[in-house]
Structure 1
Amino acid sequence: MNVLACIDASRSATGVCDYAAWASLRLDAPLVFLHVLDHSSFPVHGDLSGNIGLGSREHLLEELANLDEKRARLMREQGQLMLEAALERARADGVAEPVSRQRHGDLVDTLQELEPEIRLLVMGRQGEEADSLGRHVGTHLESVVRTMHRPILVTAGEFRPPRSVMLAFDNGPSTRKGVDMIADSLLFKGMPIHLLMVGADTKDAWEALNAAKARLEQAGHQVEAAIRAGEVEATLLDYEAEYDIDMIVMGAYGHSRIRQFFVGSTTTNILARTTRPLLLLR
């Protein structure tokens, strides 16, 4: 199975390349770069034959078709150049034989089709459409995270070799899975792990936290465990800054879409605010 990195023309592309190369080397897994020519990026012209008069309709329709064809060709060529640059960057990072793919269609549909081949998906927090939106999360990313059932590493900012990891632990199924994933994976082998639970400091909470700590220590990790009260997003990000954490691991979208519509999503808020990569588990 592959480390699959989604490449586009956004500013996040270089970080995606470097984190994907890092993950590929740590996991000893093949690295594949993917560029999707999304059909929604192209203008769709309806039937204009009833709107164009004075004998010019055929000429204008032919010209529109030629412009669309030329634009599609330029988009393909641009994508191929981006993929070539990504391959060159990955080789410079130490990946021996990275490969590239260019596909036509919807990004989410394409990733669903490729999902059986994916071990880890790497994407930037923002795509091309969101580069001018500050720290807003790209719409494609949110759709992918809600749809896919593979771990997704979301990059933010320039590459920084991860040296420490924080697992946002709530004793739910996805974070218990996260404990096992960290313990068994080569991705974080030898790294210190911080387990942080946000909530009430109770005996039951500590029992769950200490069980997770023991599991990680058995796997050879140095582990710090803590429970802190406060608003979830702010508490996680404050802890990240306090201990200079290089990557957060957390479950993705644990509540229903209806609840998220009214109260927002911890995942989306963390994605929008963190300056470090975020590994999302489903």
Structure 2
Amino acid sequence: WLNPGASVTLSCEVKPSSAGWRFYWYKAVPDFSTNYYRYDPLPGSISGTVENSFRIDGQKHTAGFTCRAGKGNPEYLTDYSEPKFVWTSDPHPAASLSVSPDREQHFTSESVTLNCGGNSAEWRVKRFRDGFINCSDSWEMTGSSCTINSNLSFKSVFWCESGSGEFSDAVNISVHGLLLVSPVHPVTEGASVTLSCRLRGETKLSDVIFYHNDKLIQNDSRGELKISAVSQSDEGFYKCEHSGEVSPQSWMAVKGGVFNALILLNDYFAFVCFVYYHCHK
């Protein structure tokens, strides 16, 4: 998560690479009429840049960005890159996403409700899994809520978008048989957190093994992993094991430091927009 007010440097790459390109930079704005995004030029970039990077100072809110390149006379323009999102740890975001039950991992065939909150009259829940799709493409969207119920295991990233252009934070949601019960939203540094392992129909398991970044950190009969004061060193991937079955791993983010993890949505494109950060205390 990016601290509000930090600087963001966007970087574009054309593949295969060659000289002579001029680069154009845009903000991705939700467009409900097309069910995708419109691309508005960033201030100071309408004429393009010779450099393949563009710095934005004072980024305060979650936003999506894209880029394209052109060369020649008349100018040939590439397609737009897929949007890249920069998620900020804004303590008072204009849009929010709540998950019920409030955890990252859920059982197959369990109903999970994703609810958007904010001042907008129009909302959509977006999902990224091998591409950008609407939650309503697979499940039921009623008002500002989308209810997930899947018989198959999966893991995806979800977030809310409003008709007035706001984005919520993004959350990972996975569906599986054995669950690691962990926070769906970033944990504040210094707070306490308890992780546990669950099977369908079982309220609490004992003799559970917990892993942090694939390193065994607890193996006893307690069945829970308690962290009394979360620090930056506790951030990372967690999973649990019970009777030889291993849960999917979940990322536990910690907010309060200079820089925390970003949820990356898209990695491989012929024309790619990369995002880098310059954070300020």
Interval of TM-score (by shorter of Structure 1 and Structure 2)? under 0.3
User: Which of the pair has more CA radius of gyration?
Assistant: 1
Q: Which has the higher strand share?
A: 2
Q: TM-score, normalised by structure 2?
A: 0.25
Q: TM-score, normalised by structure 1?
A: 0.25
